[in-house]
Structures are given as C-alpha cells and as structure tokens.
Structure 1
Amino acid sequence: MIAIQYNTVQKPTERDTRDIWEVRQELSEEKKRQSELLSEILTLSEDVKEYESSNSKNQGQVLQNTLEELKREAGLSPVSGPGLTLNIRPSMELIEFGYQVEPITPELLIRLVNEIFRFNGLYMEINGQRIVHTTAIRDINGDTTVNSIPINDTEVEIKVITESFEMAEKLYSYLYASGFQDDFYIDNLDLVINKAQDKITITKFDGELVNSYLVEENKGD
C-alpha cells in the first residue's frame, strides 16, 4: 500500500501544467460563482419569508411581484435600468486604405458577450435580439446570427443593463481598458464603448423559450 500511494503521488496520471496565476484566476471564478449562488439563495429565502409573513390578502401581490421578477430574468418582459451601449462598426481609416471589412465573427461576439456577463452584466440585447439562456450566436450560411436572426454585417448595437449606475461605470472602465478594442481592430472593426447611462431599455425576448429538462416522455408501463 505504501508503494502504491507513493507512486500515485510521485507520478500522477495527468500533470497539472497551469501556473499559480491561472490557478488563482480559476479559484477566483469559482468563488464568484459561489457568491452569486449564495446571493440568489438569500433572495429566494427573503421571498419565502415575505410570503409566509404576509396575510392572505397580500400573498397574491407577493406572488405577482415574484412572477414579474422571474419574467424579467427569463427575458419574457422588457426591462429598464442603468447600463451602457456598445457599437460595432467598420474601421473607416482601414476602409480608405482598401482593407476589406468582413462581418463580425460569432467567436468574437461570443467572447465579448461572455466577458460582459462575467463582469455582472444583468441583461443584454444585440440589434434588438434579447440575450436569454437559450440564445445561440452562430454562423448560418455565412451570416452571424443571434437567436437564429442574422444581425447587420457592418453596424451592430449592443445594450447592457447592470445592477447599478456605479456598476455600469465600472463595466465601461473595464471594457475600455481591456484588449477587446484591439481584437476588433484586427478584424477591421471599431468597438465603440459609450459611457454609462442612467436608463437603458431592453426589449423582451421575441420567441419561444423551450426547456428540454422539463420535457419528459411518458412511455407507459
């Protein structure tokens, strides 16, 4: 047993080649997800307490408020709040020098969307298409699509709503200091990051939400 344990420690089947900063970054991401889950549990617990402490007359209103909040989170209703807008457009100086401008790639758009959500973006809309948990950003017949709808090749507007105006300002500073503008410039595109605003309105999801985990086939006995 000692020999087996020693061999396992000294010769792991798969060596972890990450450096200390990569490990710290992954740990930070996990702690952030844990914090978000704990925050959500606390919110739900407060809803339960409010429902239990209210009388029968007010319980209906509490449930209605909870329903409206869930609809906003799922994208089934419009939402307004502090945030910022981003614009993607062709780089005019590169066009003047004869560079060809290609449509924005799904990969680059996905990277930007994921980074915004990672930095606590709550709600997002791309050229009128609400981003929800079922949204797919992909290439269909050479066109970059959002929710299977082709977006404008050369002019793209992204709206983001955050938890507070201060959070919107932090998101602006973060994106402005990041390397995303350089990444877009490589593709002959300009990423314009506009300053935070007090109120931005995002439309509701124009489609059908399908949750495959709630669909169960009944094959009988």
Structure 2
Amino acid sequence: MNKAINWKFTVVLLLIGFMIAVQYNTMEYPETRDTRDIWAIRQELAEEKKLHSELLSEIRDLDNTISSYQSLSEASAGKALNDTVDKLRRKAGTTDITGPGIVIEVRPSAESIAYGIPITSISSDLLTRFVNDVNRFKGIDMEIDGKRYTVMSSIRVINGSTSVNGLNVSTPPFKIKIISPTMSESEKLYNYLLASSIHDDFYLDNLVLDINQPVKDLMIHGWPEKFENLYLEEQTKGE
C-alpha cells in the first residue's frame, strides 16, 4: 500500500515539476511578437507581391523567348538570338538609347546660395533614395551626371565623394536623365515627381530638384565599360 502511495506521489511531483519548468521557460523566453502596425505589414506585403509579379513577368519573357527559338527555323534562329543579345545589351546599359523622357537638374537651393552655405557632393543615401523612388516605374533607363545607371550599378562613397559605377558624381548642379517606354509613362513619372515628398529630403540637404517637362526624343549614353568574358568559350561549328 505504501509503495502505491509513494508511486502516485512521485508521479504527481514529476507533473508539478514539468509544469513549473514549462512556465519558467515561457517567462524566460517569451514568444517574440510582431509589433508593427497594420500599415507597415501591408507595405511589406505589397513589396512582396510586387517582387512576385516581377519574377512572374521575367519567367513569362523567358518562356516566350524559348518558344520563339523552338518555332523558328535554323536560318531564323540566328536573327532571334541577335535580337535577344540586343535586348540584354540594352538591359545591361551598354548601348545608347533615345526615347521619351525627362531631365532633372539637381542644384543648390536659393537659401544655401544666399547664405553662402558650402555645397558638397550629394549624399549616397539621398541619391539611393531618389533612385528607389523612381524605380517604382518599370522599364525606365537612367543616366546620373552622365553615368549610366542599371540594375548592376552601385552607388557608393569613395574618398568622401558619392560615386556611381565607381565614378564621382559632380558637386551640384548636375543632371539626371530618365527615359520611359512611352510618352504617357514619362508624363506619369513627371507628375509623380512633382508631387513626391522626395523634394523635402533634398531641401534638407540644401538641394532642389528642377523637373523639366517630358520631351519626345531624349538620349542617354551607354555604359562605356566593356564586359569581360571570363568563363564562356566560343565553340566552333559542329562541336
């Protein structure tokens, strides 16, 4: 009888000890809660959906390219391949482009000139914020102070000066050119930038944005650097 009581007592103590251990672990390592408000979550969700849409669009383009290769004859396949190379060169920013677009001049504010405030190079954070804001519009091509900006470009600080693709950006004033797929898209970008809060960010750095009306024929130069082929080798015909 005493053995049965001792066994039951032991089981009860084990259960109590287990519950105390679980409660202590919960208090010591509470579950991390997401304290963001609903708008922050909605914004992150919108960005994820935007990325998902872009990936689907790229997959669709690649599928169309493959389908076009499969449907073409051997004689036409070369032309299709050249067309694909031209598209990739444009996307990489190695070719000059002409099309509808806008010119934006970044210059010192009137107050900074009147008070003699020294104007330094535009900060990399501000320039990056501007580029991210403009990239809401798809299919655009951009040139910053004569330097072609693409998805492979970088904005960095080198020796205290902001640079694009390793080349220093001039101390304001300098120009930013943006070409859109259509004139309608250029007008949308123009109206968006006129009302954008990015002007406040520039003004805090004693800079202003002069946004010119869209034009039909605007040219931006290609990236002068040539790509080096490190891994691919051309095979002779028949191999």
Runs of 4+ in structure 1 over 3 Å off: 208-212
Give the residue type in structure 2 aligned to 1:173.
N
Give the superposition deviation at 1:119: 2.9
Structure of higher CA gyration radius: 2
User: Which residue of 195, 208, 216 maps to 1:177?
Assistant: 195
TM-score normalised by L of structure 2: 0.78
Deviations 1:32-66 (A, max 9, x none): 11111111211221122222112222111111101
Paired positions, count = 208
* RMSD (CA atoms): 2.5
User: Which residue of 77, 87, 90 maps to 1:72?
Assistant: 90
**What is the SS of the residue equivalent to 1:47?**
helix
Task: Tell me if the contact between 1:77 and 1:203 (Cα under 8 Å) persists in the aligned partners.
Answer: yes
Structure-2 residue corresponding to 1:92: 110
Within 5 Å, give how 1:122-133 maps onto structure 2: 122-133=140-151
Structure-2 residue corresponding to 1:159: 177
Structure-1 residue corresponding to 2:80: 62
Which range moved further: 98-107 or 148-157? 98-107
Percent identity, aligned pairs only?
Answer: 42
Task: Tell me if the contact between 1:85 and 1:160 (Cα under 8 Å) persists in the aligned partners.
Answer: yes
Give the superposition deviation at 1:209: 4.4
Deviations 1:149-206 (A, max 9, x none): 1121022211112232222222122221111112111111111122222232221112
Structure 2: where are the runs of 5+ without partners?
1-18, 233-239
Structure-1 residue corresponding to 2:215: 197
Instruction: Quote the Cα distance in structure 2 between the aligned partners of 1:191 and 1:211.
Output: 39
**What is the SS of the residue equivalent to 1:118?**
coil
Structure 1: where are the runs of 5+ without partners?
216-221
Structure-2 residue corresponding to 1:81: 99
Structure-2 residue corresponding to 1:24: 42
Instruction: Quote the Cα distance in structure 2 between the aligned partners of 1:16 and 1:196.
Output: 44
